[in-house]
Amino acid sequence: MTDEILLETFNLHREYGDTVAVRDVSLSVPRGAVVALVGPNGAGKTTLLKMIAALLEPTEGTARVCGLDIREYPRQVHSKVGFLPDFYGLYDELKVQEYLEYFGRAYRLGPREREEVIDGALTQVDLAEKRDILIETLSRGMRQRLAIARTLIHNPPVLLLDEPAAGLDPEGRHELQFLFRRLAQAGKTLIVSSHILSELEDYCSHIAILDKGVLVASGPAEQVRQSSGKGRQIRIRTAGNAQELEAILRAADLVQRFSREEEGWLVSFSGDEEDMAILLKQMVSGGIQVTFFGEEKRTIQDTYLALLRPNRP
Amino acid sequence: MTSLTRFPDLYRYLRSEANPTRLIAGFVTTNLICLSSLAAMSQVKDPWGSLFRTVMGLQLILLLTYGVLRTTTSILQERSNRTWDFQRLTPLTSFEITFGKLLGAPIFAYFLFLVMMPWAVLATSYSTRTPWLALWQAYRLPLSLVFLCLNLGLLFSAHSLGNRQGRSAISFVTVAALWTGLPILISVIFGGIHGSNHWLAKETLSFYGLSVSVQRFATLSSLIFGGWAFAGARWRIGEDLLEGRRFWRFPAFLLFLAWYLFGIEGGAGLFKQPQPRPIITLGYVTFFVYVAAFLWGERTDYWRRWLRLTSSRMNNTPVWVAGYATLLAVAGLLLLIGPRSRVLVLLPVFCGRDLLFLQWCRFTRSQRAEMMAFIYLVLAYVLPPMLLAPFKLSALVCLYSPIPVGGAGGISLLQNLLPGLLEAGVMAGITFRRLRQTVT
């Protein structure tokens, strides 16, 4: 990942009648980043992606993709992005190879180049053995991979993927994760919108959170996680002594809040590592049999919930 | 670059529609039908002429039904199957997509047409001494009508991209127009092999002083308006590809239409001009302004974006505004050229009222604004005469719609014009107030 900004939006705004779908969104995405675009249903994720892909005209504002303004050069922007919508169709009457051949011709690739590109795309999405199969016979996961292969045909630097894991079984989602990692390693810049936040955890470098059309937070993943809540999250497991532990935690000044969960106690702590050590010492001195004490990294889900529902304990 | 590369849709349709099994089955079936027809007609008086009419009839019905259905559903299907966005993302231009669909979507119909051609050639070879001339004379008008219908289907399909409500409102008119054209086509088909002796070829009309056979005129007109339909489909698709609008397109079509209709000075027999040319000219121009206003669903967000534009505002003028401005210009020109008629003044006023009402409906929160406006307008023109006639108050219809004829004891121009102007003014005030609210 570099510092070069490949994609930038400037107060992107889109209205449908009286409804504001996206409200003055400004964000920057550096080259090589994998951005997790998260938000509840109706947050404006699809509208935002479509505007960036120059499929939808913004009501106000603009964006630049690889230096091209989406308002002034929408057709040129299309050559820089590969867009996978959340709901899409394929030409079921064609075979896998024929489908990619069609798009290869549409992207004006020469015969030899087409052959190489199609072979490469099919290999990348693990569909090389299915090239002579009719699309209508493919499983949901294979259709998804074929649709992703289509986005790679013209070798775009930016991929915009709207809910790519929706409707896939766990194995399909797992395969997709590997594919996204491979694409990121190959130098592509990805923006992936998803509800399955835990799966984005492993490969995203940036997070953007939308709520009711407003960009609530965006930036490098660690930065966004830190900004979502003050202090650290400590996981504590004990062998009994629940009441005594609760009393210690209530008395501790640097404990902001705590809750008892299935995996143990989760404590929001505003101190540093030395303060953590003091707390542990207090617990042990108080007769608590501590079986586990460690800092827990905030997940995207924690960040998402903390920012969208700040009053949730 | 080959056509298969330039028009990838050809490749796609060849692969899906023209696979070997289908081609062989079509080839065999078609030839069997033609052979059976020849056998069945061997006992009639003119077997080869009858065969020719049968083959030509089959060819044209195939193109007009299956072929037109294919172009009409070409983009509709892309949109309903959610494959349209993928096409929009490719570098394909609107011309490449439109022409690709015109060539590719009915490709199986074209194939069957060509399979039957040898039978048509065979029939003409046995029937006349100048078979190629006979073929040319027999096919030119029907094929030009097919070209027009295929492109109308494409135009209809292209407008599925935008305003679905407007499309619903207009669709039954389109279907009605196509079915009305079928009897004309059937009579053309039965002109058959003796095209030069066909009654259409014998009738003439005058176009800007030039005397021309109706057959030739109809052929040229079909080709020209087929071209306009293709251009219209292409421009509509181009809008969806964000290729940019041009304000002059629809006005250019209206001006051409006005020029074309005004030039038909009438002829003899069936084609003697029954009505004054200015009224017919303005009537058709007004009709197409209504059609365009319904098809292009420029709602609140479009107007908001348009009014906030700092550049290209003229090119993005709402289509009905550009069309209405052209209508006013044509009416003004026809008034100058003459012969003058009160219709030339009344029609633009009442049309303006209706278009403002349609736009006001679009500024409301109604999900079916065009359907609502369509129903209200139809009722507004149809109900008052029906309700007022039993009470001998038909004269009050002048309050709602233009009365084309006045005369002694009838409604004067001013009596008809003033209510129209008042209503148009009120509608303009309501609509612009609504517009100001939505924009701010």
* Residue type for position A213: G
Q: Is the pLDDT of residue A243 over 80?
A: yes
Closest Cα in chain B, distance from residue A194 (Å): 20
* Residue type for position A4: E
Closest Cα in chain B, distance from residue A151 (Å): 9
Q: Are A87 and B82 inside 8 Å of each other by CB?
A: yes
> CA B39 to CA B417: how far, in whole Å?
67
Q: What is the pLDDT of residues B52-83, one digit of tens each?
A: 888 988 898 889 888 988 998 899 889 888 99
| Residues 51-70 of chain A whose Cβ lies under 8 A from any Cβ of chain B | 53-55, 57, 59-60
Counting residues of chain B whose pLDDT is more than 90, the rounded percentage is 36
Q: Are A106 and B85 inside 8 Å of each other by CB?
A: no
pLDDT for the residue numbered A41 = 84
Which of the residue ranges A43-52, A141-150, A167-176, B100-109 would you say has the lowest mean pLDDT?
A: A167-176
Q: Of A173-182, B176-185, B304-313, which has the strongest mean pLDDT?
A: A173-182
A189-219 burial, b if ≥16 CB within 10 A, otherwise e? Answer: bbbbbbebbebbeebbbbbbbbbebebbbbb
Closest Cα in chain A, distance from residue B263 (Å): 42
> CA A126 to CA B244: how far, in whole Å?
39
Q: Is the pLDDT of residue A157 over 50?
A: yes
Q: Please name the helix (run of DSSP H) or strand (run of DSSP E) that holds residue B370, with its range, or none.
A: helix B369-388
pLDDT for the residue numbered A311 = 47
Q: Is the pLDDT of residue A313 over 60?
A: no
Of B82, B305, B365, the CB nearest to A59: B305
Q: Name the pLDDT band for B301 (thresholds 50, 70, 90).
A: confident
Q: Is the pLDDT of residue A62 over 90?
A: yes
pLDDT for the residue numbered B171 = 57
List the single best residue of B14, B90, B97 to mutate versus A (max A Cβ within 10 A).
B90
Q: Is the pLDDT of residue B408 over 90?
A: no
pLDDT for the residue numbered B191 = 57
| Contact partners, residue A193, CB within 8 Å, separation at least 6 | A36, A37, A38, A39, A45, A46, A49, A86, A161, A162, A163
List the single best residue of B17, B84, B86 to mutate versus A (max A Cβ within 10 A).
B86
| Residues 140-159 of chain A whose Cβ lies under 8 A from any Cβ of chain B | 150
Of A83, A85, A105, the CB nearest to B11: A105
> CA B99 to CA B211: how far, in whole Å?
34
pLDDT for the residue numbered B437 = 80
Q: Of B61-75, B136-150, B221-235, which has the strongest mean pLDDT?
A: B221-235
Cα angle: B245, vertex B246, B247; to 5 degrees: 115
Q: What is the pLDDT of residues A66-78, one digit of tens each?
A: 999 999 899 999 9
> CA B51 to CA B33: how far, in whole Å?
11
* Residue type for position A126: D
Q: What is the pLDDT of residues A188-206, one digit of tens each?
A: 999 999 877 777 777 788 9
Average pLDDT of A155-163? Answer: 94
Q: What is the pLDDT of residues A116-144, one digit of tens each?
A: 999 999 998 889 999 999 999 999 889 99
Q: Is the pLDDT of residue A270 over 90?
A: no
- Among chain B residues, the shortest Cα distance to A20 is held by B301
Output the pTM of the full model. 0.85
Residue carrying structure tokens 């003439």: B204
List the single best residue of B12, B89, B95, B309 to mutate versus A (max A Cβ within 10 A).
B89
Q: What is the pLDDT of residues B91-128, one digit of tens each?
A: 999 999 999 999 999 999 999 999 999 999 988 888 77
Confirm if B421 and B349 have CB atoms less than 8 A apart.
yes
Which of the residue ranges B25-29, B282-286, B289-293, B413-417 would you say has the lowest mean pLDDT?
A: B413-417
Which of the residue ranges A59-73, B187-201, B209-223, B301-315 would you say has the lowest mean pLDDT?
A: B187-201
- Which residues from B are below 8 Å from A when comparing CB atoms? 4-5, 8, 11-12, 15-16, 81-83, 85-92, 241-243, 299-301, 304-305, 308, 365, 438
Average pLDDT of A234-245? Answer: 87
Confirm if A145 and A126 have CB atoms less than 8 A apart.
yes
Q: What is the pLDDT of residues B238-291, one digit of tens each?
A: 988 888 888 999 999 999 999 999 998 865 555 565 567 888 899 999 999 998
Q: Is the pLDDT of residue B165 over 50?
A: no
Q: What is the pLDDT of residues B337-372, one digit of tens each?
A: 877 888 899 999 999 999 999 999 988 877 788 888
pLDDT for the residue numbered B174 = 57
3-class DSSP state of B215? helix
> In this predicted complex, what is the ipTM?
0.83
Residues comprising chain A, all counted: 313
pLDDT for the residue numbered A155 = 92
Supply the angle between the helices A221-228 and A300-308 in degrees, to the nearest 10: 40
Q: Name the pLDDT band for A309 (thresholds 50, 70, 90).
A: low
Bond prior to A74 in cis (omega within 30° of 0): no
Domains and CATH numbers, chain A: 5-221 (3.40.50.300), 230-297 (3.30.70.100)
Q: What is the mean pLDDT of chain A?
A: 87
pLDDT for the residue numbered A312 = 42
Instruction: Give the number of other CB atoms < 10 A from CB of residue B148.
Output: 23
pLDDT for the residue numbered B374 = 87
